């Protein structure tokens, strides 16, 4: 097996587009977002007898707790790939590069469902579970290649009623790129103030909208109530899937179901674009009532769908500095309630 850097967007996206499952985190656009945020990005292709069998977008994360390599939702494997050989080759390749970038570990957040086999794939190569999750690992996915009536009938009764009630009160516009982001941002700041979380910077989020907007792979639904913007979302598209990646809203009376109507129109926009799935992103594990996603989980599940449980992020320590990173992140994990 040989490893080569892929240097063109067309070649990278051609391979990504041929393989499921879909993920925007391995897209060329996501790599460009990371570069605009100051990180170094490698696009690695894995070839077996001249035929590409896998790819991995590698982000060098510069952090005070320790620089590290991050492969979010990767590598992407073809059905013909020997997954163990790919991960071993990736590990060896990055280990050789590590000293030049003071990287203390390789962190892979794979797009493989949790199983004994997926755990062994990394465990056999010296990886161990990361202290933190990187991106949503337990996700909620809805198949949207159905009629509106079928989708409505599969919802929780309260969600269906909220949509029907709210459609007469809430207006939803589907906007593109900059115009949508300019209306999303004030709502995001209001959400941050209300829930007191550490927000993404405006420049980082604007870069996401800009980069995915280049290929028409983003849309921004904005909900209005009594003439005022009250809720919005940033939806990123990869392959046949729409991802509800960012949400924002004002605090309204419980009798105004703006969030339900917003999601319903967002789902309909995904259907209009010929997409097959709507990924609501992260939810809380069953019975974890103190989990940060616990409240939003009830809301997301109300639309119908199913859970996908991806393997937890895996770390391969590369230097003694990993111990410091592990300690800092372990403390952060307990503070966040995960």
Could you read off the pLDDT of 271-295 as tens digits, one per residue? 999 999 999 999 999 888 878 788 8
**pLDDT range class, residue 214, cuts 50, 70, 90:** very high
- Give the per-residue pLDDT at 337: 65
More confident residue, 196 or 325: 325
Rounded to an integer, what distance in angstroms lies between the CA atom of residue 182 and that of residue 170? 20
**pLDDT range class, residue 334, cuts 50, 70, 90:** confident
pLDDT one-digit tens code per residue, 122-180: 999 999 999 988 899 999 999 999 999 999 999 999 999 999 999 999 999 999 888 99
CATH number among 3.20.20.70, 3.40.225.10, 3.40.640.10, 3.40.630.30, domain 2-135+311-336: 3.40.630.30
- Is 80 exceeded by the pLDDT of residue 329? yes
- Give the per-residue pLDDT at 288: 82
- Is 70 exceeded by the pLDDT of residue 59? yes
Q: Mean of the per-residue pLDDT values for the chain? A: 94
What does the domain layout of the chain look like in residue ranges?
2-135+311-336, 139-309
For β-strands 306-309 and 40-48, DSSP reports them as unpaired
Among candidate residues 317, 327, 337, 273, the one with its CA nearest the CA of residue 94: 317
> Which stretches within the chain are classed as H helix?
9-17, 28-36, 83-101, 116-123, 148-153, 157-166, 177-195, 202-213, 258-272, 294-301, 322-336
- Is 70 exceeded by the pLDDT of residue 6? yes
- Is 80 exceeded by the pLDDT of residue 195? no
Among candidate residues 270, 266, 251, 276, the one with its CA nearest the CA of residue 300: 266
Q: Return the percentage of the chain with pLDDT > 70, whole number.
A: 99
- Give the per-residue pLDDT at 291: 80
- Give the per-residue pLDDT at 289: 83
More confident residue, 253 or 5: 5
- Is 70 exceeded by the pLDDT of residue 338? no
- Give the per-residue pLDDT at 45: 98
For β-strands 277-282 and 241-249, DSSP reports them as parallel
Q: Say which DSSP state 112 is in.
A: S
Among candidate residues 213, 203, 277, the one with its CA nearest the CA of residue 244: 277
b/e sequence 258-293, b meaning 16+ C-beta within 10 Å: bbbbbbbbbbbbbbeeebebbbbbbbbeeeeeebeb
CATH superfamily label, 139-309:
Gcn5-related N-acetyltransferase (GNAT) (3.40.630.30)
Average pLDDT over residues 227-254: 94
**pLDDT range class, residue 255, cuts 50, 70, 90:** confident
- Give the per-residue pLDDT at 244: 98
* Partners of 257 in beta bridges: none
């Amino acid at each position: 097996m040989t490893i080569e850097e892929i240097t063109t967007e067309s070649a990278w996206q051609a391979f990504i587009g041929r393989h499921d499952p879909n993920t925007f985190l391995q897209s060329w656009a996501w790599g460009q977002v990371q570069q605009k945020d100051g990180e170094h990005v490698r696009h690695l292709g894995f070839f077996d007898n001249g035929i590409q069998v896998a790819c991995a977008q590698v982000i060098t994360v510069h952090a005070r707790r320790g620089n590290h390599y991050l492969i979010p939702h990767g590598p992407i494997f073809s059905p013909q790939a020997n997954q163990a050989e790919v991960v071993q080759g990736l590990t060896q390749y990055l280990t050789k590069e590590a000293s030049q970038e003071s990287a203390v570990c390789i962190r892979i957040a794979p797009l493989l469902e949790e199983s004994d086999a997926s755990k062994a794939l990394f465990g056999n190569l010296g990886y161990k579970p990361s202290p933190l999750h990187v991106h949503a690992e337990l996700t909620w996915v809805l198949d949207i290649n159905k009629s509106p009536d079928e989708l409505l009938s599969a919802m929780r009764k309260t969600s269906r009623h909220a949509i029907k009630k709210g459609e007469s009160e809430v207006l939803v516009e589907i906007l593109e790129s900059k115009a949508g982001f300019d209306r999303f941002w004030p709502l995001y700041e209001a959400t941050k103030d209300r829930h007191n979380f550490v927000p993404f910077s405006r420049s980082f989020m604007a870069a996401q909208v800009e980069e995915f907007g280049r290929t028409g792979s983003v849309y921004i639904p904005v909900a209005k109530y009594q003439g005022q913007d009250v809720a919005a979302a940033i939806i990123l598209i990869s392959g046949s899937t729409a991802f509800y990646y960012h949400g924002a809203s004002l605090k309204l009376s419980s009798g105004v179901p703006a969030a339900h109507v917003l999601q319903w129109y967002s789902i309909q926009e995904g259907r209009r674009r010929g997409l097959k799935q709507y990924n609501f992103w992260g939810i809380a594990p069953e019975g974890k009532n103190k989990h940060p996603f616990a409240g939003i989980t009830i809301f997301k599940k109300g639309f119908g769908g199913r859970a996908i449980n991806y393997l937890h992020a895996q770390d391969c320590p590369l230097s003694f500095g990993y111990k410091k990173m592990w300690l800092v992140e372990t403390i952060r994990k307990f503070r966040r309630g995960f």
